[in-house]
Amino acid sequence: MESGQEDGRFEALTPTISYFYGISIQMFYEDHPPPHIHARYNEFRARYDIATGELLSGQLPKQAHRLVTDWIKQKSHELAANWERMESGEQMEYIEGLK
């Protein structure tokens, strides 16, 4: 189980940092390297490296995967800054989604 899931803190530790085209993007507090995001689309889940956009685990439908990787390329600096905030225990910022 993810950190904090048993005691109800799970949602507080997994803020949604962006939402676009039905895709929820999250970063987990107390997460591990490499810097990455969690993408959710319907019942699908995937993790992506924020420096490269590489799929680390999971799976999204082809169209959702492409949207997420395009978004990571556009927002890589903002994602890296949020990862640093997360590691420092600071509040992460919401990042605009694709339009």
- Is 56:36 a contact under the CB 8 Å cutoff? yes
Mean pLDDT, the chain cut into blocks of 10 residues (99 residues total): 39 80 93 94 97 97 98 97 93 93
Rounded to 5, what percent of the chain is helix, strand, coil? 30, 25, 45
Cis peptide bond N-terminal to 33, omega within 30: no
* pLDDT score for 29: 84
* pLDDT score for 30: 83
* pLDDT score for 25: 97
* pLDDT score for 13: 60
* pLDDT score for 8: 42
* pLDDT score for 3: 37
- In terms of Cα–Cα distance, which of 75, 57, 58 is closest to 20? 75
